[in-house]
Amino acid sequence: MAPTSSRPGRRAASRRIAVRGNPAHPPGEISPLTINRISVYLRSLRQLEAQGVARISSQQLARRFHLSSTQIRKDLALFGGFGVRGVGYDVARLAQQLTTLLHIDRIQRIVIVGMGNIGTALARFPAFNSGTFRVVAGFDTDPARIGREVGPVRILPMEDLETVVEATGARLAVLAVPAEAAVPVFRAIAATGIPSVLNFAPVTLPPVPGCRVKHVDLRIHLEELVFFAVASATAAPGEGV
């Protein structure tokens, strides 16, 4: 089923989203961290499917993948009763249910804006061009790049962004431009009605109603790791960080 294109003026996405859960529980607000854990559970279930495992308990799932059985049960209970007490979860069925829950049971089309090193690498990334996620076009302002093909992705001028988004129904954009260009380019993306942006630019973007942003800054993660590595090495014996 081809996704429909988004339109400007969508209701602004909050940092939490309301989702109807198990009828035994009132509708709750689901945090991004919960959705992140659901993705981890799904990845784990797919590994179990590949190994031929048909059924598993929350305790077994937690032990095999270094998770928390209590957290697994709590997270899944937000969305419905997936398992049977004393019997566990049907691995294939739960994997399919979580796939549907995450809306990755259909093609999700992506545009990449900024076809430098990061954009080019992502355009060639197999996970972006098979299964659920498909890059439908790349965009750039550099005349030397426009018209080229990177893997299966053709690089188009920024002027074509809105037309391509409307024609393909793309709902996801990757922003991979230099910091100084990020804000105006982000606003141009949001103006097309795209509701979700994965931002690789090393800058904090201003909020735009109807457009949710996820930031990916590898330097921040490296700085965090360095801090704790050095702090652990310099801590007195018996002291924690």
Q: Tens digit of pLDDT for each residue in 146-199?
A: 999 998 899 999 999 999 999 999 999 999 999 999 999 999 999 999 999 999
C-alpha span between 221 and 59 (Å, rounded):
31
| Residue 227 forms part of a structural domain | no
15 confidence band (pLDDT: 50, 70, 90) = very low
| Same structural domain, 60 and 36 | yes
Handedness of CA 181, 187, 189, 191 (dihedral sign): negative
pLDDT for 4 equals 40
Residue range 123-149, pLDDT digits in tens: 998 888 878 999 999 999 999 999 999
| Residues 159 and 113 grouped into a single domain | yes
Higher-pLDDT residue of 6, 221 = 221
- Considering its fold, how many domains does the chain have in total? 2
Q: Is the pLDDT of residue 16 over 50?
A: no
Indicate if 117 and 205 belong to the same structural domain.
Answer: yes
Residue 161 lies in a domain: yes
pLDDT tens digits for 83-92?
777 789 999 9
**Residue found under tokens 């804000």:** 183
Residue 188 included in any domain: yes
Q: Are 49 and 152 found together in one domain?
A: no
Domain carrying residue 62:
31-101
Same domain, 136 and 96: no
- For 57, the token pair is 């308990």
Residue 73 lies in a domain: yes
Q: Classify residue 228: in a domain, yes or no.
A: no
d(CA 205, CA 236): 40
Residue 176 resides in a domain: yes
90 and 162 belong to one structural domain: no
Tell me if residue 106 falls in helix, strand or coil: coil
* 26 pLDDT higher than 90: no
| Any domain includes 17 | no
